[in-house]
Amino acid sequence: MPVDNPDEIDFVGQSRETGTVRMVISDHLPWDKPEAHLEILRRKVDRYTRFIQSGDINAIVPAAKDNLKAIEVYFLMDPPKGTVPKTLDHWGSELGKVGIDFSYRKFNGAF
């Protein structure tokens, strides 16, 4: 169910502290071709966004209807500096406009 399988949802859970419904993308791909990597990731983010906006998430996590939704990307390898973080930050800004929190970080062994 990793990033390169855009039709699958990797992980869904709810924060006990905040109630935020977290949808996690597990990204194991190398960054040797950043543009191609971003395109693969974009397809997965788009799938998650559709899952949230359609209301399908409410069938998996009924409390999602009344709580913040978040898409979190966990990278196995650090993204290269430069345009990649700018692109990811832009996605976060755009998702924020429709009420979806977006974040990314290197996987440290815990979600």
Q: Angle at CA 58, nearest 5°, toward 107 and 95?
A: 55
Q: Which residues of the chain carry a pLDDT beneath 50?
A: none
Give the pLDDT score at 108: 79
Give the pLDDT score at 91: 98
Q: How far apart are the first and last CA of the chain?
A: 16
pTM: 0.92
Strand partners, 12: 23
